[in-house]
Amino acid sequence: MQLDFQKSGGLVPAIIQDERTGDVLMLGFMNASALSETQRTGEVVFFSRSRNKLWKKGESSGHVLKVREVRVDCDSDALLVRVEPIGPGVCHEGYRSCFFRSMDGDGNAAVIAERVFDPEKIYGAGKSR
C-alpha cells in the first residue's frame, strides 16, 4: 500500500500508543525514510521538524519505543504505532506521556500526571531526546 505523505508536506503524523495500557504517549511525524527505518529496526524513528532530520526516539536517553504493531488509517495519511516503551517515560519533561496536561474550556492547562524521572539526569544539556 501507498501512504499519502503529501497532505502534511512529505510527512504523516504518527500516534504512539502503549500497547499494554492503551495510553497515548506522544505524537511525532514520519517521512518515508523514518517509517522505513522504524520498520527495519523495530524501534520508532521520527522525522524531527525542528531539526529537519531523522530522530531516533531514545537515541541518547535509551528510552526507545519497541514497535509491536503499525496501523494505518482509512485515508492512509496517519499512523498508529503500538509500542512497548523502554524506560520510565517518553517525555523530555520527565513524564510517562507527553500528554500530561489537561486543558479546560477557558484554555487553562493543569498537570494531571506524576513526574516519573528527572529529565536533567537523563537528557542533560544539549542532548537530544
The footprint of its own copies (CB under 8 A) covers 1, 7-8, 13, 15, 17, 21-24, 26-27, 39-40, 49, 69-75, 78, 80, 91-93, 95, 98-103, 105, 107-109, 112
Q: Any long-range contacts for 41-46 (C-beta under 8 Å, 24+ apart)? A: 42/66, 42/67, 43/67, 44/14, 44/16, 44/81, 44/83, 46/14
CB of residue 79 vs its own copies: minimum separation in angstroms?
8
Of the pair 64, 89, the CB lying nearest its own copies is at 89
Of the pair 64, 79, the CB lying nearest its own copies is at 79
CB of residue 62 vs its own copies: minimum separation in angstroms?
19
CB of residue 35 vs its own copies: minimum separation in angstroms?
9
CB of residue 127 vs its own copies: minimum separation in angstroms?
16
Burial 21-58 (b: 16+ CB within 10 A, else e): eeeebbebbbbeebbebbeeeebbbbbeeeeeebbbbb
